[in-house]
Structure 1
């Protein structure tokens, strides 16, 4: 009995490439298709139509990959996605990576094994060159986290502007020694916020001091540790830009332990406008991200791609950010859009 392995050997191609040709997946060259068809004809190989039918059957399940559900931003994002998915007749499978490349690839296997019809990537641990191989098995889109080299739909925010307007606000308050605090170096979101941060400083002729850079900060506990490091400095910053309201809340909690007043001795601005930013004392100035709108757009775009079954193309959907000014940077609550 002739098998797909025999076809692959005669064609001089991998088994996965032969499978892609048989199942009419995009992104396979005409040359490789021709080799497969010629090998199939020479060997008399006939694909198992029932098996192909099973592979092409819809599961009505989509997955979302996030780094850490305990982060309120991702908790709210997933909750909004679940509502949107249900409204579209889909169930949402939540996959958490805890910033592990291996775990992320394990979740992507869900697409390869046809356990889900498509995946929303709200975080990225692997390089796009690795992730892109899974496009063979179904649609992928990015939401929040992104890689500009990816030729797929991306729902994102203007993170450069977000970093810029938050830092500009601190500069307008008279600060010149401003610390930058974010998650990992690999995050495009964090990198773009840093570009906005640097742009604002450059406009005022202020060079960034490496000693004022704090990275791999994700949690309240991380924020408390950041404050301890700031407090131990001989020449500490007078303000901190953070990429998370959680981290900002941790910095404020650390300041309280050491008797440092916010914002008189240290101003703190967060990001996301999470619930914690409204209940911390003092309330946290932050950059609001339209999480519900972003979640709905991501689900609707993915479902459209699942239904039309056409090759994915480069599409960009950019949503607005808003600066929310509260007591952690000034004396009273204000609201401003820049």
Structure 2
């Protein structure tokens, strides 16, 4: 249709050599009229890559991940790659199936948010597949990984509450087994220590990283003989559960109970009072993950790196501040 050779079409499609503008126009016009698409798998047999990146992440675990995926997709497209997305449901068996499905698509590399008790990391390491871990990071330097700084950020929330005079500060913590959960509990304990407050195991109850269990957790804290006057919610989903339970009990946020949360949400400043949160740099985490993965693909032998990005305190009035 374009009146040119297959080689010229290849140069236009793959940008492997300059082609005269008029010739390029004829080829692109023929592509448009025929709806032609290349065969990425066939091309991978020749070039060794499909120009695609796989993402295995739990889409149901937290709305935060949707914003993360948006940033990853934007950076992937800007880099000339295609994104292939699978949902792990935060279950080990589903995660393994999702990762293997991505491998069958011959993706050039993987971005993964590990599920609790998952077993895919040793398998991927043994296969030498380029990979970056996001959000839930591992101890040591085995993998490239990027996520928020959790310990000092959570400590800052506790110290802020202590500076306001609170001496009984509780925490609704995340799902056991997640690195983010343990790091934020560690930050909570660090904040207590820095404020001269005593660690009390009964003041930390897991909200399982979900709204309903978080509501139950707050209820247990408020039913203690000596209940907290302030509470830290370990993520945005649990913050929602905490606020629902407080409303059900007619507990006034900011006066009867100070509440702060790790993770910012778009509705945080629409409530009365607006909720103080620690906002993760989600877009930058997503962009950094893609850039790290492309560096790993280009140089598989480079030493693994871990990047921690600092959250920002969104100071509002749910902590009791005027």
Given that residues 240 and 268 in structure 1 are in contact (C-alpha distance below 8 angstroms), is that contact kept between their aligned partners in structure 2? yes
Match of 1:133 among 112, 123, 127: 123
The match for 2:312 is 322
Distance 1:69 1:93, change over 3 A: farther
The match for 1:276 is 267
The match for 1:122 is 113
The match for 1:32 is none
CA RMSD of aligned residues (A): 2.4
1:254 aligned onto 2:254: no
- C-alpha deviations, 1:191-228, integer Å up to 9, x for none? 11211211121233322222211214323333322232
The match for 2:292 is 301
Deviation of 1:133 after TM superposition, in Å, equals 2.5
Q: 1:58 is paired with a residue of what secondary structure?
A: coil
Cα distance in structure 2, aligned partners of 1:59 and 1:200: 47
1:103 aligned onto 2:91: no
Cα distance in structure 1, aligned partners of 2:154 and 2:46: 44
The 5 A counterparts of 1:50-89 are 54=45, 57-69=48-60, 71-89=62-80
- C-alpha deviations, 1:68-101, integer Å up to 9, x for none? 4462211111111111111112222222222211
Given that residues 230 and 258 in structure 2 are in contact (C-alpha distance below 8 angstroms), is that contact kept between their aligned partners in structure 1? yes
TM-score (norm 2): 0.79
Pairs aligned (count):
281
Match of 2:301 among 305, 311, 328: 311
Q: 2:247 is paired with a residue of what secondary structure?
A: helix
Cα distance in structure 1, aligned partners of 2:170 and 2:110: 36
- C-alpha deviations, 1:213-245, integer Å up to 9, x for none? 121432333332223223333221111111112
Distance 1:65 1:279, change over 3 A: farther
Given that residues 283 and 327 in structure 1 are in contact (C-alpha distance below 8 angstroms), is that contact kept between their aligned partners in structure 2? yes
Cα distance in structure 2, aligned partners of 1:197 and 1:148: 19
The 5 A counterparts of 1:1-338 are 54=45, 57-69=48-60, 71-126=62-117, 130-135=120-125, 136-306=127-297, 308-332=298-322
Given that residues 141 and 306 in structure 2 are in contact (C-alpha distance below 8 angstroms), is that contact kept between their aligned partners in structure 1? no
TM-score (norm 1): 0.76
Deviation of 1:290 after TM superposition, in Å, equals 0.5
Q: Point out where structure 1 has 5 or more consecutive residues left out of the alignment.
A: 1-50, 333-338
Q: 2:123 is paired with a residue of what secondary structure?
A: helix
Cα distance in structure 2, aligned partners of 1:95 and 1:114: 12
Deviation of 1:156 after TM superposition, in Å, equals 2.2
Q: Point out where structure 2 has 5 or more consecutive residues left out of the alignment.
A: 1-41
Cα distance in structure 1, aligned partners of 2:70 and 2:254: 33
Distance 1:281 1:59, change over 3 A: farther
Distance 1:309 1:112, change over 3 A: farther
Q: 1:142 is paired with a residue of what secondary structure?
A: strand
